[in-house]
Amino acid sequence: DIVLTQTPLSSPVILGQPASISCRSSESLLHGNGDTYLSWLHQRPGQPPRLLIYKISNRFSGVPDRFSGSGAETDFTLKINRVEPEDVGVYYCMQATQFPRTFGQGTKVEIK
């Protein structure tokens, strides 16, 4: 199984400041069709996760442009340009290149 390792696991941030989360994969996530199926999800307390970013860097519908994704092969990053109060919660990376689908452990973002 592909293992996704996120760092940091906890990120106290100041409102209006940037934040960054790393996701490292145990194997390349480059699919044979040329796509890389790495997504980012955000989960607020008591709510289901919601999709932020898919295929490394594509913002899902309605996601603010302060969120951006980058990376390739085994190393990926989610950046929040300027953290806002509604950005608190847990962020997960997820791969859909291989079965079984796997998730990172999650990174908790909270306001300092």
Partner 1 sequence: QVQLVQSGTEVKKPGASVKIYCNSSAHTLSDHYMHWVRQAPGQGLEWMGIINPSGDNVNYSQPFQGRVAMSRDTSTSTVYLELSGLRSEDTAVYYCVRAGDQYFDLWGQGTPVTVSS
Establish if 48 lies at the interface with partner 1 (CB under 8 A): yes
Q: Which of 54, 67, 76, 91 binds partner 1 (CB under 8 A)?
A: 54
CB of 96 to partner 1, least distance (A): 4
- In the complex, what is the shortest distance from the CB of residue 109 to partner 1, in angstroms, rounded to a whole number? 15
Q: How far are the Cα atoms of 72, 73, 82 from residue 108, in angstroms, in the given order? A: 23, 24, 16
Distance from the Cα of residue 27 to its chain's centroid: 17
The first and second tokens of residue 53, run together, are: 């970013």
Which residues contact partner 1 (rule: CB under 8 A)? 35, 37, 39, 41, 48-51, 54-55, 60, 92, 94, 96-97, 99-106
